[in-house]
Structure formats: C-alpha cells, structure tokens
Amino acid sequence: MKIFPKLWSNKTKDHNLFIKIKGLLGYMPKNKNVYIAAFTHRSMNIKNLDGKPQNFERLEYLGDSVLSTIVASFLFEVLPNADEGKLTRMKSKIVSREKLNFIGKQMGLLDLLVFSGKKDNLGDDVYGNLLEALIGAIFIDKGYETCKSILKEIFFKPYIEIKTLDKEVISYKSLLIEWSQKQKQNLVFETEADNGKDPSVNFYCKILVNNKVVTKSRDLSKKKAEEKAAKKAHRILKI
C-alpha cells in the first residue's frame, strides 16, 4: 500500500507548487503527492482517496527525526575532535526552533502552504514545521543518502556556519539563569496573562534582579515573552 495515495487536488495549484519546489530543491518531485501533503494545513480538511486526513503533521514528525540524524552525522564528520558534550550543544543549536523557523522563513515556505484562513495568524513556528515536513517529503521521495546530499546544499551551506555556531545563543533565559547562579544574583521572572488591547499579545513578562526591575516584554506565549525579556536583560546587564 502506498504511504501517500492519490489526493483530491487542484492540478493548476499543484503544478505551481512543483515548479516552486523545483526552484528550491533543484529537481522536479517524483512522488508528487507527498509534497502536496507537506504543504497542506489541517484546516483544509483534505482527505486522500482512502479517506485519511492529508496534511503536513505526520511529515513534520518524520522530518524532525531525519534532520536530527543528518545533523548528527554532519557534525560527527566536520568536527572530528569534538567530544560528546560539544556535539550535543552544536546539534541543539542547529535544530533549535528559532533556527528552523528562520531558515523556513528565508526559504519562503509559507508561500507554498495551502491554508484555510489568514496565514498571519499561524505564528513563527509554522516556518520550522514546514521545513521539517519538506525534509520528510524529500526523505520519502529520494531516500536517506539523497536527502542528506540535498540538505547539504539547501540547509547547511547557506545557513549553518560552524565557526560561529558555538557563539550562538539558543536560550537567553537559560543564559540569564546561569549568569545569576554564578554571580549569586536573585533573579525572578514574573510572567502572567496579558489582557491588553492587542489580541495577538497574550503574556507579559517582567524580570527582576535583586528585587529591581530590569526589563519588561510582551508576546504571544509565555515562553516567547520570557525569552524576549531575557534577551533584553542580557543586553542591559552587559552579560
């Protein structure tokens, strides 16, 4: 049984999708249905001829695992003297949500998504999700070795700089907490729901050091509000 049977789809839209994918990847997809699924949002409620839901979520799961393996292999090859700890830290930075979101946005993947509603409401994580779904589609269509070669050209070469990667910060919140522990400073994150006028901003975070307010930030989620505030505090405190 095929993993991705024939879909009910619009031939004109599909053709445009394949042309854009060819521009991104350098080849015309062979298993076209898997790429259609990779850029279909669950809100479309599309089903294949077997009656099963067809969207990018399963491919996102697969792509996440494939990318993790390929990144681990890549680092193992390019950093022959790195120990397990450094390899793990470097891998975490490459596959971080922020990094994947950035790459997915730079690749323009949201333009390919079929979505029922305003794409502006999807949030930044959709870029990384689509990138993982695309990787899952490449893996199914081309196999592991070819997928690895393609990612070398469209992922590693343009977006991953090993020489500067070690200096990149994954989480300013973690960095701030580590600093406060080393310096024996009393650090407090006060985060609560924000019921302000802007419906897109749901959380408010205030950071205090030794009972003094250092900075404040608002954002869509608790995690993002805290990370934004921590980044500002990192700059203000000159850590």
Do 115 and 225 lie in one domain? The reply is: no
Do 187 and 95 lie in one domain? The reply is: no
Do 210 and 187 lie in one domain? The reply is: yes
Do 88 and 143 lie in one domain? The reply is: yes
Overall domain count for the chain = 2
Asked if residue 191 lies in contact with residue 224, where contact means CB atoms within 8 angstroms, the answer is no
Active site residue 132: yes
Q: Considering the domain boundaries, does residue 5 fall inside one? A: no
pLDDT per position as a tens digit, 91-116: 999 999 989 999 999 999 999 998 88
Q: Considering the domain boundaries, does residue 6 fall inside one? A: no
CATH of the domain at 206: 3.30.160.20
Asked whether the predicted pLDDT for residue 16 surpasses 50, the reply is yes
The residue that leads in pLDDT, 180 or 201, is 180
| Per-residue confidence (pLDDT) for residue 13, from 0 to 100 | 65
Q: Tokens at residue 228, please? A: 């934004």
CATH of the domain at 57: 1.10.1520.10
Do 199 and 157 lie in one domain? The reply is: no
Asked if residue 93 lies in contact with residue 165, where contact means CB atoms within 8 angstroms, the answer is yes
Q: Considering the domain boundaries, does residue 2 fall inside one? A: no
Of the residues 127, 143, 165, which one is the last residue of a structural domain? Answer: 165
Q: Which domain holds residue 180?
A: 172-236
Of the residues 165, 199, 226, which one is the last residue of a structural domain? Answer: 165
Q: What are phi and psi of 160, to 5 degrees?
A: -115, 115
Distance in angstroms (rounded) separating the CA atoms of residues 19 and 42: 23
Do 73 and 178 lie in one domain? The reply is: no
Do 93 and 200 lie in one domain? The reply is: no
Question: In what side-by-side order are the strands of the sheet with 212-219?
Answer: 187-193, 203-209, 212-219
Do 42 and 82 lie in one domain? The reply is: yes
Q: Considering the domain boundaries, does residue 190 fall inside one? A: yes
Do 21 and 102 lie in one domain? The reply is: yes
Q: Considering the domain boundaries, does residue 157 fall inside one? A: yes
Distance in angstroms (rounded) separating the CA atoms of residues 10 and 7: 9
pLDDT per position as a tens digit, 157-189: 999 999 888 888 878 998 899 999 999 999 999
* pLDDT confidence band for 8 (50 / 70 / 90): very low
Do 153 and 182 lie in one domain? The reply is: no
* pLDDT confidence band for 15 (50 / 70 / 90): confident
Active-site position among 60, 132, 219, 227: 132
| Per-residue confidence (pLDDT) for residue 1, from 0 to 100 | 38
When pLDDT is averaged across residues 82-93 and rounded to a whole number, the result is 93
Do 106 and 23 lie in one domain? The reply is: yes
Do 75 and 191 lie in one domain? The reply is: no
Active-site position among 14, 50, 57, 64: 64
